Structure 1
Amino acid sequence: MSFSMTGYGQSALQFGGYKITFEVKSVNNRYCEVVLRMPREWTGYEDMLRRMVQAHIRRGRVDVIINRELTDGAAGAHALDRNMVKSYLDAAEALVREYGFKGELTLQDILAMPGVMDAKEEASPADSSGELAGLLEKGLHLSLEALLEMRSREGAYLTADLTRRLDRLEELHTGISALAPLVVEEYREKLRQRLSQLNDGSFPWDEHKFGMEVAIFADRCNIDEELTRLYSHFGQCRALLLGSEPAGRKLDFLIQEMNRETNTIGSKCNHLAVVNLTLDLKAELEKIREQAANLE
């Protein structure tokens, strides 16, 4: 199953009077990049949490945000900073004295000022038994499950869309394969007509030279190898989409190869209908490339 690189998951747990929230977000990235943001005193668990993420995700940028806040009603949840209050009052008096401002500060004004009522920075509860480590692991695991579920749903949608587009590529391939033998036939008839119009009896008709010219053209515009390789790439793409390994990078390589084969077909086959079909092929391949860029 193919996974998308975009997703989101969250969870929340209670521990020691705290509510600990976990958010995991992932977006497209060429490699697997894990960025963690958490309280400073918990950075000792960063390697453990990073390895957890890397065990589940092979490709994409993953942002892990872990926050903690004291639960409502917890003792000492907020504290009054008297020094901050005094500095605000002194500043207000200075403004009145120096600039003549009028008005008075109310209690509501003072309490709303930044830094007056701050959450107390309490140390995390002791973790001698490893309980906090287990809780962080559990919370991140729950968030990762939600993230992976979203990535799986999006991946299934992308796989279905890419499969439909591969079906369209095969239809165009069938059309080109049917037209390929007619290219030489049409060239032979047009060349014969052209030579007949130009022949005023002043030069003899040479069937051997005529056949040589047609043979050279047939060899120059032969696209059998390109069509075979192109069809092989379709099968490889389908196998990647149905496989269990990340398919994004390999699909990107195959799309480049299919574009190369398509360009060769268009340049070698001097036939309007075939050229039009190759243009449709290139347009569909570009859509596939855009979609495949979202796959892990």
Structure 2
Amino acid sequence: MGKAIASMTGFARAEGEYGGTTWSWELKSVNGKNLDARCRVPNGFEILDAKVRSALAKNFKRGNFHINLVIDNKQKSVKLQVNEEILQQVIPLATRISNDLDAVAPSIDGILNLRGVLELVEEEEAQDEADTRMGLIETSLKDAIDAMKRTRCEEGARLGEIASSQLDDIDRLQKEAAKLAATQPAAIQGRFNKQLTELLSDTSTVSEERLAQEIAILVTKADIREELDRLAAHVAAARELLKNGGPCGRRLDFLCQEFNREANTLCSKSSDVALTTIGIELKATIEQLREQIQNVE
């Protein structure tokens, strides 16, 4: 059994909490010719950027990814601390000014209320606690990537069903065109003889051999059997790609180009209204298929 077909469109979210710190990963992906990632992480967590890119490269082949990590440290404990460097500058300065002005020496309250003397600082976290939290954040990243893979595969399954249905339509139209093509030589000969009769009052002046040559040339120019055979081969190849699954979007897109080339040639060679109508319907169906294929990884 082949691998699952994946879409390049998806969304995933994973959350976690440890020691009063909460976090959430958000992953979004859209169509892209290659694999491209834009990652936003808070200050102090830049090391995760490389890990994100490495994990994406291991799990995906194509798509434009937007990854965002939000961390909330509001519950982290803080303490009041004296900035010794500023305090050592303030005390001598306050004492000198008090002496120069013969004023009352500043109180402790007054000194402590000066900006910068007292400051709130986060309590230092033990290294093992920080390592544990970072490990859990990376685990949440893996969970988000796994969820993204599932959503892309679910969407890919829907794309596969739609593409299979459209390939069935192309196959049906190819068979209808083949039936009409079988009647083309006789129809061309009939039209040629009618036109010749209208142009010449006496058709006996034209040799049977010359008539046969002209009709053969017209039939050869209008022959679409090769185009129809290639269409059938492309349908079979596309079905095989969908069956085998995996990252097949590029090859399916190439086949859509080949489909369109054959349909264009069919229309240009057609001298029959019904066959031209089939060619136009073929082109419309191929375009619908191409729009779906653009989303396949």
Scaled by the length of structure 1, the TM-score of the pair is: 0.79
1:108 matched residue in structure 2? none
- Which one of 19, 42, 48 corresponds to residue 45 of structure 1? 48
Which of 36, 40, 50 is 2:39 aligned to?
Answer: 36
Determine the structure 2 residue equivalent to 1:239.
240
Would you say the 8 A contact 1:29–1:59 is kept in 2?
A: yes
CA shift at 1:144, angstroms?
Answer: 1.2
CA distance in 1, matches of 2:182, 2:48: 67
Determine the C-alpha separation between the residues in 2 that align with 1:55 and 1:202: 75
Given the superposition, is the C-alpha separation of residues 129 and 120 from structure 1 closer, same or farther in structure 2, using an over 3 Å criterion? closer
1:12 aligns with 2:25: no
Q: How far 1:45 moved relative to its partner?
A: 2.7
Partner of residue 195, structure 2: 194
The alpha-carbon distance between structure 1 residues 125 and 242, as it changes in their structure 2 partners (threshold 3 A), is: farther
Query: Quick check: 2:35–2:61 contact (8 Å CA) kept in 1?
Result: yes
Matched-pair contact (CA < 8 Å) for 1:70–1:77: no
User: Structure 1's 41 and 195: CA in aligned 2 closer, same or farther, altered over 3 A?
Assistant: same
Segment drifting more, 37-46 vs 209-218: 37-46
Matched, 1:59 2:55: no
CA–CA distance in structure 1, aligned partners of residues 194 and 144 of structure 2: 73
1:224-247 per-position Cα deviation (integer Å, ceiling 9, x unaligned) = 111111111111111112223211
2:264 corresponds to 1:266: no
1:75 and 1:169, CA in 2 relative to 1: closer, same or farther beyond 3 A? closer
Quote the offset at 1:134 in angstroms. 2.4
Code of the aligned partner of 1:204: T
Partner in structure 2 of residue 69 of structure 1: 72
AA partner of residue 10 (structure 1): R
CA 1:127–1:261 in structure 2 vs 1: closer, same or farther (change >3 Å)?
A: farther
Superposition deviation, residue 123 in structure 1: 6.7
Change (3 A) 1:246 1:214: same
C-alpha separation between the residues in 2 aligned to 1:33 and 1:78?
A: 43
Tell me whether 268-277 or 202-211 shows the greater mean CA deviation.
202-211
Change (3 A) 1:51 1:270: same
Question: Measured at CA, do residues 21 and 203 of structure 1 come closer, stay the same or move farther in structure 2, by a change above 3 Å?
Answer: same
**Alpha-carbon displacement from aligned partner over 1:53-82 (angstroms, at most 9, x marks no partner):** 2111111011111111136xx354799xxx
Q: In the alignment, which residue of structure 2 is the partner of 1:276?
A: 277
**Secondary structure in 2 matching 1:200:** coil
Separation in 2 of the partners of 1:78 and 1:129? 19
What secondary structure is seen at the aligned counterpart in 2 of 1:41? coil
RMSD of aligned Cα (Å) = 2.4
2:108 is aligned to none
1:178 and 1:49 map into 2 onto residues whose CA distance is 55
Q: CA deviation at 1:129?
A: 8.2
Percent identity, aligned pairs only, is: 30
Unaligned runs of 5+ in 2: 81-119
Call closer, same or farther: CA 1:262–1:77 in 2, change over 3 Å: farther
* Aligned residue identity for 1:2: I
Q: Deviations over 1:167-199 (max 9, x none)?
A: 000110001101112112111112223333444
Sort the Cα spacing of 1:184 and 1:134 in 2 relative to 1 into closer, same or farther, 3 A: same
Displacement of 1:14: 1.2
- C-alpha distance in 2 between matches for 1:253 and 1:203: 52
Q: Is the 8 A contact 1:16 1:125 kept in 2?
A: no
Alpha carbons of structure 1 residues 120 and 177: separation in structure 2 relative to 1, 3 Å: farther
Name segments (4+ residues, structure 1) moved above 2 Å.
Answer: 74-79, 119-134, 193-205
Closer, same or farther: CA 124–242 of 1 in aligned 2, 3 Å: farther
TM-score (norm 2): 0.79
Preserved contact between residue 238 and residue 255 of structure 2 (Cα < 8 Å): yes
AA matched with 1:12: E
Counterpart AA for 2:235: F
